[in-house]
Structures are given as C-alpha cells and as structure tokens.
Structure 1
Amino acid sequence: MKKKLPKIIVTAIVLSFSFSAFAQVQKDDKRVEEKSVSENGQPNLIKFNELSSYKSSESQKVFKEQLGLKDSQSFTKIKTESDKQGYTHEKFQLYEQGIKVEFANYTLHSKDGKLVSMNGEFYNIENVKLAPSLSAQDAFNKALGYTRATEYLWDKPQDARELGYEKPKGELVLLPDMEQQGQKRGSDKVRLAYKFDIYATKPLSRGDLYIDAETGKALFYNATIKHLNDNVHGSKTSDVAKKNETASKMAFVAANAATRYSGTQTIQTTLSGSSYILSDTSRGLGIQTYNSARTATYPTTNFSDADNNWIEYNNTNKDNGALDAHWGAEMTYDYWSAVHGRNSFDNAGAKIKSYVHYNLIAAGYSSNNNAFWNGSVMTYGDGSGTGGFDILTSLDVAGHEIGHAVCTYTANLAYQKESGAMNEAFSDIWAACIEYHSAPTKSIWLVGEDIERRSGHVALRSMSDPNAEGQPDTYGGTYWVNVNCTPTNNNDQCGVHTNSGVLNHWFYILSVGKSGTNDLGNAYNVTGITLDKAEKIAFRLEDFYLGANSTYANARTYGIQSAIDLYGAGSAEVIATTNAFYAVGVGAAYSGGGSDTIAPSAPTSLAASGTTGTTTNLTWTASTDNVAVTGYDIYQGTTLKGSSTTTSYTVTGLTPSTAYTFSVKAKDAAGNISAASNTVNVTTTTTSVSYCSSQGNDATDERIGKVVFGTINNTSTATTGYENFTAISTNAARGSAYTITITPTWTSTVYNEGYGVFIDYNQDGDFSDSGETVWTKTASKTTPVTATITIPATAALGTTRLRVSLKYNGVPTACESFSYGQVEDYSINITASGTVAEEITAGLIETTAPAGFAVYPNPVESELNVSISEENGYSYKILNTLGQQLGSGQVAGAIDVSKLSTGIYLIELNNGDKKIVKKFAKK
C-alpha cells in the first residue's frame, strides 16, 4: 500500500506567499482602468484612468495601495529612463527585510508627472525567518561541487582582469520557485539562497548559480554564456580597465576591410606604433577586436596591418573573419544608437570587445561550431567547415550575441523555459534588424545563413518559416518543446533555442504580414506594419515591460501595450500586433470596438465521417477573414450545437437510428458571422457502443496533467479518477505513425507511475482485440513519457475511443479500478491512408527541401512557379487542408492555381525517389 508522507512545515527557510494583504485592497478601485494578474495571483499590469490622481513621485503610496506592500517590504529604485513619447519609466527592486527578492522588479510608467501604468513581478511574502544554515564559504564549496569544472577564470588572473571578473563571494537573496514559471498556482515557495557568478573555463560555462542556504542544494542556474545554438556543450567594464582604455585612445582612421561575408566595408582602426589595429575609438568607450589565436584564453593580442588596407586577411587561417567581427560590432553599435538612441549594449557606452579564433575544443567542447557572449565580451569559434559552420563572425551572429548583452541590461529574461526562449528570440530579432539597416541585400529573415555549411540546411533558423529548421511557428504546435520540465544543458534549458521560433515568427508577421492557418487550426490575415515600426514595438516590449520570468502570454499583453504607447489605442499597429500574436497561437485576435464590419467567408467542404449511434465527426475547410477567423459555430438544423476553434468538431449526444442535418458558420473577433457552409446529412447507427469503466480511486497525489496526440493537446487540472474527454478528438490516418506524450502531475512527492494506452481499432466497444493495447510502460518517475503509435491498415474508419491510464507503481489494464492514479478517454477519427493527410492534421508540416528549391510567388494569385534542379523529373499534386487532392500533373513551367479558393494549400512533388511537400497561400 502506498504510504502517505506527512506534511512538513519549514519555518526557517521556506517562505509562503500570502494574498491576504492584497485582498484588503479595495476591489472596485475607480482609478484602475485595467488589471491583469500573474500565475501567483498578484497584479502584473495595472493601467490607470483619468480618475487617478497618482503622481510619479508617489511610488511608495502606489505600491502600498495597489500591491498591498507590507512594512517588512520595500521597493528601491534601480533605474530611470525617459523616451521620445514623453514617458518616464522607473524600475524598482523588491526587498524583504533588507534582502533582495531575486527577479522581483516593478516599473512605474508616468507621463507629465502623472502615473499611467505599472507592471512587473511581485511576491507578497510573510512569516519570514532569514537565518542561513550554511556559511557563504560552505555554499561556495557546494557550488563548485555542482559545477565540477577543472579550471575557473579566477585561476587565470590576467584573463579575469581583462574581463573585469572577480572570484564570487556570494550574495544572499530570496529566490522564487523557478520550476513553476508560467504555471497557475495559488501559493508559492521561495528559498533563501546564495547567488554565485561562477565562470568555469574548462569545461567552459558562466552563469549565476543559486545554492539553498539551508540544504546546499543547487536551486537554479541562470546561464550568462548564451550560445548561438544548442549543439555545443554581462558584467560592466572595471574602473581600472576603463582608465587604461581612456589612456590608450588615439585618433581613429577609416580603412577598407575585405570581409569574409559582407564584401568590402569601411571600418575604423587605430594607428598603434607603426601598424594599424582593429580598434575603433569613435563609438562609446570603444570597439576592439582581439586574436585568441586558437587558444581558450582572452589575450590582448591585436590583429594588425601595415598600410591600413585590410585585403590580405583572406587566408587559410580565416583571418578575414576578424574584419566581419569588427565591422559587425560597429554596425551593431550604430543600430542601437541610431534606431533606439542607446549608447552601446548597457546604454552607458560600454566597450565592445570581440575575440576571434577562440578554441572551444580546448575549453572542453566537442567542436568550434559556436559563438557566444560571455557576460563581458564577444567570443567567436572558427567552426569546422563542411558539416558544421564556417568561422562564426557574420553580421547577424554579432548582432545576435550582443543582443544578449542588451537583454541583460533591459528585461534580463531568465535563461530557461519561455523566458529563455524569448531571450533567444530577441537576439534573433535584433540580428534581423541590424542586417536590414546595414546590409539589406542579405536574407534578413534567416539567421546564420552566411556561416551555414551543413547539408540540408540553409541557415540555423528561419524567422519566416521556423518549421524549415525544426522550430515551432505556433505556441504549442509542431516542434514545440514542452516547458514543464527541469532545465538542464541536455534539454537546452527546456528548449530555449527551439521555442524561440514563436516570437521570431511573430516579429516576421508583424513586419511584413501573412495570412494562413496556424497549428491550432486558427485562420489569420495580418497586414504588416513594416520592420521599422515593428522593431520599435519589440524593443519597447523588452526594455520597459518584460521581466525576468515573463511568459509568451505576458509578451502579448505588454506587446499590445507597447503598440498603444507608440501608436495609440485602436491603431493599425495595435491591431497588427494583436493579430500577429494570434497568428502564432498566443491569445485571441483583435476585437476593438466593432470597427470591423466584414464577415469571414463561408466554410466549405463540410463532411461527416465515423458516425456511430451517438456521435459523428465533422470537418470543413477553413474560412478566411480580413482580420482573423476566431472560431466556428456548429448548427444542428437551426439549433446551435457547439463551437470550435479548429476545422473539426465531434458531435456527441445523438440518438441512434436518427437523421440529422448539420452546417457550420465562421465568426471573427468583431462579432461578424459568415454565411452557412454546405449542409451535410447524417443518420446515426442503430446502437451505440458502451465501453467498460476504468478509474483511479484517488487522484489527489498523482494524475494525468497533459496528453498530446495528433491535434489533441489537452491540459487537465481535475483530480477525479476518471475524466471523459471524448469531445476532444484528432484525425489519425491508417498506416501513419504518431507520437503520444503523457505528462504526469504530482501534488508534492514524485511517485513511480505506470502507463497504458488503448484504442478500439475495430470499434466493437472493447479494447480486448489483438493490438488494441497499443502501448504500456512500467512504473518510473520519468516526465513526460512518450511513445510512437502506428495506426494499423486494418483499423475501421470513423470515430473510436482512445483511453489513457496512469497507475501508481504498476502497469494499468484497459478495464480496472486501481488505488492511485487517473484514466482519461478521448476520441480519434480513423481516416484512410494518404500521402500527406496525417501531416496536415498535425499542422501543415512541410518536408525539408534541397538547396535551390523555391515555390513562388507566395502568396499566389494565378500561376505558381516551382524552381528545382531536376524540374522535368517531378510530378506534382495540389492538396487542401483536409488532404484532398485538387489537382495534379508534371512540373513543366508555371502551374495554374487560379481556380483555387483563397486559403492555404500544399504542393507535393515526387520523382519516385524523393518527395517534397511545401505550403503556399492562394490570394
């Protein structure tokens, strides 16, 4: 029998969050126009109306009245900034009895001396005892044991001085529970912890490591070194260094530089003795590029040239890459200065140092295929060439990495989960912007295209088509990495380099516009506002609104507010910002006062399948709209039967042997309703199928938290032993393989859980036939668990039952009651096998195309062109979002698509040996 563990109340270190103080704040505050709360129930954005009399100087009064700040707590101002729109932004840090609450910042936004809004992270802590059990030295020893490096930067005094780094002494802070980032919760735990800036040089790593001040456990690691990609395993310049830099400044001169990736460019150099060096003293406190000479060190070795005509650096040593690094740092400085009025990455003129030919292998890594910002300087590896990357000094890599430094001095997004993904995304966004302004002929929506040398890849990442390089273009969609995990280097801190694709694609859509249907089945049509406007919204979002633990949902809220600040409520820019987030699956489409009077187009191709005695499965082709389709209403005759945000719906509760007529209408955010689709007539079968019961008798300690299978992506919070989710369904094609992911949830203690998945393939009302126990897993603490399920060719077509079981300490069977755990039932619609139907239902997945392949124009009005090296050897098929073939032929010249309705389609090309599938949009 499972033993229940006693609850332990820890009073010395574990701190509980209370909402009692905030509850005393007047609920109906006439001064508040809008208020949103974070996952712990505390306000994260408050907007004030004209009735508010708060002055910008009344910060402590505001904090007490709006946040319920107690006498033991205080906010200390840490930064004040003003902008061109006349706003003043004051950022504050929360302290509890004099100890800093890590990541707890709040910003007050004022205009003309009056408070307009406030936002940030707040933790209402009470009953706190702040006496550490460990000394700082003991905690430091624990930190070293956790890091397990063989060498640290403090062992190299010269490098440490050059980077302005000192051996950490440890700072006592209160650390929120980082494991719960982005999760709903009624209370939180924080820990008294020592914070150490640990810079290891072998193997290479740098980050803030938090050690529990009572237990010595490593609580959280916030990486400072942020790599360009995840395939390889910022402090201010010191006063002494600044004095040396000032003393060594000499007149700068212009020079021609034959860069490796960007042609001949003008750079600034300095005459030092009889040679010129890559040192620019015209920008901030300077820009200087050094030669690490394939060591894992940071020497002050200069690249030099006798005549200041830098053309001979095109050699086998790749020295011309240093010219790219130097020019890239200059262009990055110029971008931040000219576009955003920012003086270097810290807005205080910090010197930008770049080190080229850094040897990552000597630092303990498997290859030199990376570049990174180490918290102080830029560091570039030489790459490995074929199969990897060329020297990583391209313009967008420089802009990306220095962008991480900008983030440190603005939002300081924690490097894990969704905040870490946005940290990476902002760096990609700034890389694109810097290319746009400094080298507009480059492929600005590709990241790392200049250095790419891997077969089958055109770049590291694509902002216009994230799926092309294995990233999601939709929140929770194809390639999305589950963030309900423990961040480690092995899982890329819960997918920061992968999930960044969502914000990347948001910025692309906001800039240039796009129409289509996302992985959630939501149709959208966004008019771009130009990159020049989008970059201002994006930086305002990062600089003034986002905080360390912000999520994508926060980014949407604050992004819309940034657009309002800049362009006004209800503006085209606000509409586009909102709908671009909707397009990538974050939040609803814009609904701003009914100015939109255009209804969506009527859904088409309504069809029914898998009809039983009590259910039928409806599918249809997506509608289009001038703004965005937000959903569909399903009608049984003239009676509203239900609603769906996707292009499918399972009708339940029908009577056996009865005829029904169904139709569907589309709707948008402004309340416009489309004309009805075609009608479909259905007659239910004679009898309904009844399944055996199965359940856990107690699901309070462990249960199923989330199930993902096909388009099923269901998060459950109920604690009953059985959950009927048969209204949630997905299509699954015969002969096709699908991944199922089951995420367990534990209340406190983590237990061993076993799993079973069952599908009634022949639809006879049981799971006892051969092959219908499709997967089991013995008990373990693994989270999440995954399996691949292939739908057999003999499965009956139509809707049937999918059962998922989680059982404590044993493997469940299909029909049993067990002591601890949970059972959930879903529906799946078995469809005939097809070339790409199974891919379409999972989100219009494209295949990887060879170099030189292109489908254009896209969107297309009448003639679609296909560019491919072996053009005459390919046949083509045109398919809609249901996988239905609409046309075919041989690839020979332009393809006539003029008769297609407006929407999203796929073209499948096949030469017998190779198949290529690509999306295109019909205007």
Structure 2
Amino acid sequence: MKRILSKIVTMTVVAFSLSGVAQEKDKRISQKSLSENGVPSLITFSKMSTYKSADAEKVFKEQLALRDNQSFAKVKSESDREGFTHDKFQLYEQGIKVEFANYSLHSKKGRLESMNGEFYKIVNARIKPTLSAQEAFNRAVVHTGAKTYLWDSPKDAAAMNYEKPKGELVFLPDMENQGKERTTDKVRLAYKFDIYATNPLSRGDLYIDAATGQALFYNATIKHLGEYSHGKSKAAVKDYSSNSKRVVVSGNAATRYNAAQTIETTLNEFSYILLDGTRGNGIQTYNSSRTATYPETDFTDADNNWTAAEYANANKDDGALDAHWGAEKTYDYWSAVHGRNSYDNAGAKIKSYVHYNLIAAGYADNNNAYWNGTVMTYGDGSGAGGFDILTSLDVAGHEIGHAVCEHTANLAYQKESGAMNEGFSDIWGACIEYHTTPVKSTWLIGEDIEKRDGHLALRSMSDPKSERQPDTYKGTNWVSVNCFSPQRSNDYCGVHTNSGVLNHWFYILSIGKSGTNDIGSAYDVVGITIEKAEKIAYRLESVYLTANATFANARTFGIQSAIDLYGANSAEVIATTNAFYAVGVGEAYVDLRDTAPPTAPASLAAFGITETTANLTWTASTDNVAVTGYDVYEGTTLKGTTTATNYKVIGLTAQTAYRFSVKAKDAAGNVSAESNVIDVIATEGYCVSKGESAEAERIGKVVFGTISNTSTGTAGYEKFTEISTNVRQGAYCSITITPSWTSRLNTNKEGYAVFIDYNQDGDFSDAGETVWTKSISKMSFIQASFRIPATATLGITRLRVSMKYNGIPTACESFSNGQVEDYSVNITDSGSFFINELVGEVNAPGSEFDLYPNPTDKELNVSSIAKSGVTFKITNALGQQIGSGQLSNNPIDVSKLNAGIYTIEFNSGQKRVTKKFIKK
C-alpha cells in the first residue's frame, strides 16, 4: 500500500542558508529539517561550525533570516545530565509576543550543537487592536457561556493563585492549518484570556480576535483523564493551613489500590495531616468534601496509622491515601529518573483535592480526574458502569504529567499536538507504575479504577485497539484531525483517541514487537527497555518538541534525542526510528553505509491491457535492510515509481508495442539488477458486448455523478470512455438510465445492467463488479443506487451500461435488440476531501437539521428543526417532484420510493433548506 509521508524534509547537507543570499553549501550544518512553512524546525551543526552558545542573535539572523522588526528574548535556561545547556527563546513581532513561537539553542561546553523550534514568517502584521481589552473580555465571557467563574469565588481563586484575567495582547498563528504545508504564515492580533469557569467546569486560554471579537482558539488547561461513552467523611473540618506547630513524620497507610504503604505526613498539634514537607516545596492532599470547591480542609488521623478500618469506608476516604502516596511517588520518579525537581523543575508544591464534586460543577457524573493548571483534582467515580475513585497511581502520574508538559513542550491541546500531550501523560503514568509497583499491569492505564463492562482499563498501550484507539498513524480507529472545530464535545479532534499512536510507539520502543501495521508496513523492532525508552521520551518532550508539533516532528526529534543520548547509528537510534515506522510515522531506519543492493524483481507480467493502459505486476525483492520502492522503466525511460509490487501504466497508444522492466531500490540509494523484460501491445482488453440492432430501442441518456450524456447514436455499442466522473471508495452513488424508443406509442420491455471493473484487471467477471441489474420494464427512466466498495482500486477504470430487449444483459454478450455504452470512472481515496458530485455530504457539519436514518428503507425522521407550518417536497435526480406534504412530529413515509438518491426541500414560508437522502 502506498504510504502517506510526512511533509517534513530532512537533508544531510543543506545547499543554501536562509540569510537572504544564495551561497554554496553551508559546511557548518550537518542536518536541517524544514517545517511545513519552509522554515528550519531542527538544525544540527557540524564540527566546522564556530557558533557558540552566546551567539544567539547572530544564529537567528543567519539561520532563520530574522528581520529587524523581530526579536527573540530568552525565557529559560536549563542544563541536563548529559552536559547540554538548553536556552529557550520567545519570538516577538514589533514588540508583541507570538504565541507558541519558541526556539531553543542546545550547546555543550559553550559550543552550539543544534537549534530547533517554531518560527513564523510574518509579513505586514497589524499591531493596533480595534477592540479594547474589556470589550474582548466581554466577548470571551459570552463565548464561554458559563453560569459561574472562579473569580466569583475569591477564596477558591486565592487557593488557585488565580486572578480575573485582564487580557494579554499577542499574535496568534493560524491554528487551523498547523501541520499543513504553506508558503506564508498568517497571524492574528488577539487578546489572550485565562478563563476559569466553575459551572460548567472548564479552564483554558481563550484567544479573541482584537479586531473582530471572534473566538479564534481555545487551548484547554484542564485536561481530563479520558472520554468514554458509554456515609460521612472521616476528614476533619478544621483548617490547619496556617498552623506553624508542625513536625514531618512517616506514617502507615492502607491505601485503596496499593495495599500498605509508607507516606510522609505532618503532626499538626494533636493530629496528623496529609502534608509531606520532605519533597520540594511540599506535597499536600485536601478534602473537597464532595463540593465543587477547593477548601484547605485536611484529612486527619490521630496516631498516624491510617488503617483500612478507618478509611476503607463508603465515602472512599482510602482513595485520599492513594492520591497522597501517588503524588509522592510521582515526585520521586521525576527526581530519581530525570533529575527534575517537581513538575516545574523548581520544587513546586503538589496539591491534590479528593472528593471533588464534578456533578455540582456541571458534569454528568464524577468519572474524571484532571490537572487544572494549579492543582490535582479527583472525582469519586460512579462505581458500576463507570470508574472507582480516580486516585490510582497511574492516574496521578498521568495528570501530574500534564503539568510537566505545560512547563516543557507546552503541547497545544488539539489535533496531533494534543494527542501527544495525552500520550506523554500515559507514558509517564506507565513509567511511574513500572518503577513503583512493577507487579501491576504497566501497559494498562486506569486498570485499578475500571468498573465498566467489557473493559480491562481506560487505555492499553500494548494493544490500543482493544480500547478503541489506533495503534497506527491514520490507521484503524484514527480520528481525523480536520474536525470542524476543536472543542470538548469532539475531544479537541480526538486527543484521547489518537494518543494511542504515541503510547504504542513507547511500548514497542521499550519491549519490541514485530508485525504489519494498518498501512501495510512490516516491521521488526528490538526493544531497548523502559529505562532507556523513558529517557528518550523525556528528552523529546522537554528539550525538542514545541507547542504545535506533529507526529512527524516527534519522529525527527525523537531520533535526535536518541542520538544525543546514545550516539548516531546506535541500537537505540535504530529502535527509535523503527518504532516510529511500526506505528506508521516515517520510514524505517536506514544505515547510509549500506552498499548491498536489493535482489532483482522477478516474474514481471502484464494483465488488463487496453488501448491506453496496462497493469504490471511482479514478485517482491528482498534487501538486507528494507526495499523502499520500485522504478518502472519503458525501455530505458523511467516511467514511474511505486512502493507496491504492481503499477498501472497509462497514456499508451493503441496498436503500439512497448517493452517494460522493473528495478528495486533501498533507502541507501542502492538499485537492484533489472527484472525480466516483457513486451506489451496496447489493445482493447475489455470483452465485446453489443446489441445487433438499436433502431427500435437504445439508451437515450445516462446520468452518473458528473456524467450526464444524451446520445443519439444507433450503433449497438457506443464508446464514451473519454467521458468520466469521480467516485469515492465507500461512497453511495446513483445512476439514472433513460431509454429511447423509435415510437413512444410502441414502448418495449427492457432489462438493464451496470458493470464496473473495480480491480481494474480488464474484465467485469470479479465478485461485485456486476453492480446492479433491473428486470424487464417499460418505465420511462430507471434509477438505481449502490455503494462503491472500500476496497476498490484507486484510479481510472471502466463503467459499462447495458440495455437489452426482453431480458437482463450480462457483461459480455451480443443480443438481438438494445445497446451498450462504456464510460470511465475515477475511483478516489475514501480519506480525501473529494465530495461526490451527485450526493454531496450527507448530514455535513454545519447543517441546520439532521435526517435519519440515512440511508433509509421505510421512514425518514427530521430533527433539530421547527416543524410547525413547514412543508416539504421530494424530487428525484432528474429534478422531478415525486412527493410532498406537511412536516409533523411523525416520520416521513418514503417506503414507496424506488431505490436512489433524492433531494428533500423544507419551506417555512420565509426560508428554504434542502438536503440529500438515500432510499435503499
């Protein structure tokens, strides 16, 4: 299968710098990767480079063509265990910050090793807003539409260190087209507001256009654990937060999910509270007491022996012990494994709130946990059919992992970047569980809290498909990121679903796996252990990824992370590359030192030969690494390239001889010997079918997609293959055939058939290629609908329409009276943006109402439309009205309609709205 490759271009040597003047090869650069806008996303420098870590301004001007009205300001500098220093910079345009435009310089011993980030080519950006900050804020509140906000509750706002937003003026990149190839960068002047709504609950950065007031983008701060369909607390009420008489001690805790564990607590006067003062600036666990608030109410114990008899109660107070212990173990993981001091690397206090009432905050149930930008928040779950209290270790690690992401890559919470944001949190949840409780199921996320029938866990990293996630980029279960508008209702374009790709990459990198993925790529990856994989993943997230990164970026930067840690061409680099290949991102690892060519393709043969086309097929070549493609030759001329073992040659001339051969190649540039050579003569390959006489009856008109052909020829066979239409894999189509008789007073009974060569092998004899037949009839027109198989071969193929007197025609026959007409159809990819010309998009986003079921066989229901006083009429594909009526609360009866595609128009007297539907 042909694979869709990333738009990111990686070159081992760069021919020109970006300083504005064409130059010879810049010998200072060993590798450069370009983002979709043609700007470097990663540059690694050779030993010939003289750049130093202090040369930031010079580097940005020479390598990014930084203009005079742009500047970079350093926002952070960190050093790692490998001896690198990472300086992160923020881009400003005319003194205004450009959101997500961060670039980092990576140096070692004062020498600049590499640079990477997001940079935008901004032209003619306006810096004066039309709206005031207050006007924009009012628009933001209206857009959010919440009942209450955190600024309405000063005490809770103070606990979150939150203030009512005043609005920051920024330039916002075009978030809709992130990850798409473009030549210019569009930015919008916008006000940025941190909107914290408390009912219904949400928090995120909302960007309001400073000129129009339009809501441009919402970047969710509250990131929930996942989306799925489908007694009195022992805690004291007294607030000890201001008491200074405290002593930190170790206590024994009978946790709900992890048996007996040691936790750090604090003696506060006469009782112990869940406050650990030994890690960073502290770890504290509070009780929300099943309210939708954040009080500083402690869980307390008299003797620091937090027993099951005391806490394993109906209120699930033992879940608080898991939350506290889980926060401690999460802190320990980041400190011991990655040398990170809490989630912000500055010792930030980790606060957890247990028994938070999500229902009171506007949610349907309490089946969630989240990081809200400041603290951890845990719901109690709903039990059967949902989750138990959501304080398991991997959930704690997952949610605090969001805080780590916020302080490192800050991956925007939508589309591919949002999916990776979720994926990294799952990775950290799994790693923390592996290091802390290795007897548990490392690769299941949320198995301790799972209470739904038919589920082992919320997600599976080893088998994402078992929980309806994809294990391959754009494979089965993948959610299109080209959704109408990223929002919580569509999971911000599938962030909790598509995260399965990164999850599975990490699993394969750690454990290893062999197989064939959803896009047909065979792989065999040798795992490198979790201990090594987690270091590569952390470096990828903390050093290289930027806010709007794609999976293709993750591959580029993941490989670079492995090179930094383990060296070029190391086993770890090979595994990192091949693990991405295994999940459908990029190509397999290629050792450019490889000089062994693939074996020659064998058994080259031709089939389905027509006047203009020929199908070639051959057996696969083998290679010591991997065959990456085949070159097809016509004589000595390269005719085309494919990754498959077949190729359709087009543009041939009838009655002309051609000679073809094939060569295999690998990624190192090695080319095989030539295959066997075959000679082909372009001739008509399809069988003969015709009527011996078309004088009395013939085909008068065929309508199919954009084909609308009225014919007057009286030959028994008419060839119209120059007329074509597009059809889409898996799409419903309709065809209308109008007969023509010499005398309308002497109509005859005719039978009909339609054939399509779906596999393009030059015949109509394969299963399903007789797409429709009609028994004999005197009807003035015949309409039929059918579905193009999802497995139909892409490209141009033959459509045959046959009308036979007094009988149903077959694909290859001569009959006494009637006519046969041949046309062409172009079968397109089901994942493309092509819209069937005849059908349109059934129930497309933005429609004012829905028709269901669609397709239907008996009744048609109408929803989301006022029905009083509304009339409707139904027309067929020829524009003929064949039904009408008054809309009511009852379904519309369409059982008597023939199979086909129809238009229904609703008329309220003031407005008309139409939509297509299919009658089966």
Aligned residue number for residue 563 of structure 1: 562
- SS of aligned partner of 1:74: strand
1:256 and 2:252 matched: yes
- 1:412-423 matched pairs, under 5 angstroms: 412-423=410-421
Deviations 1:111-154 (A, max 9, x none): 11111111111123343331111111111100000000000011
Residue 268 (structure 2) aligned to one of 260, 269, 272:
272
| Structure 2, unaligned runs of 5 or more | 1-15, 231-239, 689-701, 709-725, 732-757, 772-785, 792-796, 802-809, 812-819, 829-834, 856-874, 879-920
TM-score norm. by structure 2 comes to: 0.70
CA–CA distance in 1 between the matches of 2:132 and 2:444?
A: 49
1:179 aligns with 2:241: no
Residue of 190, 194, 214 corresponding to 2:191: 194
Alpha-carbon RMSD across the aligned residues, in angstroms, is: 4.5
**Which of the residues 353, 364, 369 maps onto 2:351?**
353
Q: Which residue of 1 aligns with 2:291?
A: 295
Partner of 2:839: 777
Q: Is the 8 A contact 1:25 1:68 kept in 2?
A: no
Amino acid at match of 2:376: M
Structure 2 counterparts to residues 324-473 of structure 1, below 5 A: 324-473=322-471
SS in 2 for 1:115: strand
Q: Give 5+ residue unaligned stretches, structure 1.
A: 1-18, 234-243, 698-705, 712-724, 742-756, 791-809, 814-923
Structure 2: distance between partners of 1:571 and 1:176: 37
| Pairing partner for 2:58 from 43, 58, 61 | 61
Q: Distance in 1 between matches of 2:603 and 2:455?
A: 37
Name 1:281's counterpart in structure 2.
277
* TM-score scaled by length of structure 1: 0.70
Task: Tell me the residue number matched to 1:751.
Answer: none
- Go from structure 1 to structure 2 and tell me whether the alpha carbon gap of 1:363 and 1:672 turns closer, same or farther (over 3 Å shift): same
Tell me if the contact between 1:651 and 1:727 (Cα under 8 Å) persists in the aligned partners.
no
Q: What displacement does 1:643 show?
A: 4.4
Is 1:115 the equivalent of 2:115? no
Distance in 2, Cα, partners of 1:534 & 1:417: 24
Shift in Å at residue 286 of structure 1? 0.9
Q: Check conservation: 1:758, 1:774, Cα contact below 8 A.
A: no
CA contact (8 A) 1:740 1:788 kept: no
Q: Is the 8 A contact 1:197 1:208 kept in 2?
A: yes
State the shift of 1:536 in Å: 0.7
Whole-angstrom distance in 2 between the partners of 1:696 and 1:41: 40
- In 1, Cα distance between the equivalents of 2:243 and 2:37? 51
Q: Could you tell me how far 1:303 is from its partner in structure 2?
A: 1.6
Residue number among 297, 304, 312 corresponding to 2:300 in the alignment: 304
1:10-52: CA deviations, max 9, x gaps?
Answer: xxxxxxxxx9985347464332222222112222112221222
Contact 1:278 1:303 in 2 (8 A): yes
Query: Contact 1:502 / 1:584 at 8 angstroms: preserved in 2?
Result: yes
% of aligned pairs identical?
Answer: 67
Q: In structure 2, what is the equivalent of residue 538 of structure 1?
A: 537
Whole-angstrom CA distance in 1 between matches of 2:876 and 2:496: 35
Report matched runs for 1:512-661 at 5 Å: 512-595=511-594, 627-631=625-629, 643-646=641-644, 649-650=647-648
Cα deviation for residue 760 of structure 1 reads 6.5
The 3 A distance-change label for structure 1 pair 789 and 768 is farther
Amino acid at match of 1:36: S
Letter in 2 for 1:496: V
The answer on 1:95 being equivalent to 2:157 is: no
CA distance in 1, matches of 2:314, 2:657: 77
The one of 157, 160, 163 aligned to 2:160: 163
Match of residue 139, structure 2, among 138, 142, 148: 142
Q: Which has the higher mean CA deviation after the structures are superposed, 196-205 or 494-503?
A: 494-503
Q: 1:768 to 1:51 in 2, by over 3 A?
A: closer
Shift of the 776–386 alpha-carbon distance from structure 1 to 2, 3 Å rule, reads: farther
Please state whether the residue corresponding to 1:30 is helix, strand or coil. coil
- Asked whether the equivalents of residues 283 and 351 of structure 2 are also in contact (C-alpha less than 8 Å), the reply is yes
Cα distance, 1:368 vs. partner? Answer: 1.1
Q: Do 1:523 and 1:629's aligned partners in 2 also have CA atoms closer than 8 Å? A: no
Residue 345 to residue 678, structure 1, CA distance change in 2 (3 Å): farther
- The residue that corresponds to 2:477 in the other structure is 479
Q: Are the structure 2 counterparts of residues 567 and 656 from structure 1 closer, same or farther at C-alpha, using a change threshold of 3 Å? A: same
Question: Any idea what SS the aligned residue of 1:140 has?
Answer: helix
Q: Which moved more, 1:218-227 or 1:631-640?
A: 631-640
- Matched with 2:898 is none
For residues 248 and 503 of structure 1, do their structure 2 counterparts lie closer, same or farther at Cα, with a shift above 3 Å needed?
farther
Per-residue deviation, 1:681:
12
> Post-superposition shift, 1:642?
5.3
One-letter code of the match for 2:344?
A: D
Deviation at residue 322 of structure 1 after TM alignment = 1.3
> Counterpart of 1:525 in structure 2: which amino acid?
D
From the superposition, tell whether residues 673 and 61 of structure 1 become closer, same or farther in structure 2 (CA, over 3 Å): closer
Amino acid aligned to 2:521: N
Q: CA deviation at 1:609?
A: 8.2
Q: Could you tell me how far apart the structure 1 residues matched to 2:245 and 2:604 are?
A: 73
Partner residue, 1:15: none
Q: What are the within-5 Å matches in structure 2 for residues 74-89 of structure 1? A: 74-89=71-86
Preserved contact between residue 569 and residue 591 of structure 2 (Cα < 8 Å): yes
Aligned residues: 726
| Code of the aligned partner of 1:562 | S
Distance in 1 of aligned mates of 2:185 and 2:510: 39
Q: Does 1:43 align with 2:40?
A: yes
Computing the radius of gyration over CA atoms, which structure comes out larger, 1 or 2? 2
Structure 1 residue 394, shift from structure 2 partner: 1.1
Query: Equivalents in 2 of 1:21, 1:536: separation in Å?
Result: 33
Task: Summarize the Cα distance change of 1:25–1:759 in structure 2 as closer, same or farther, 3 Å threshold.
Answer: same
Post-superposition offset of 1:728: 13
- Per-residue CA deviations over 1:543-595 (Å, capped at 9, x if unaligned) read 11111111111111111111111111111111111111111111122222234
Structure 1's 21 and 598: CA in aligned 2 closer, same or farther, altered over 3 A?
A: closer
Check 1:554–1:677 CA distance in 2 against 1; reply closer, same or farther (3 A cut): same
CA contact under 8 A between 1:524 and 1:629: conserved in structure 2? no
Q: Which residue of 1 aligns with 2:9?
A: none
Superposition deviation, residue 302 in structure 1? 1.6
Shift in Å at residue 319 of structure 1?
Answer: 1.6
Secondary structure, counterpart of 1:36 in structure 2: strand
State the partner residue of 1:855. none
Residues 432-451 of structure 1 deviation map (CA, whole Å, 9 limit, x = unaligned): 11111111111111111221
1:316 matches 2:314: yes
Letter in 2 for 1:262: N
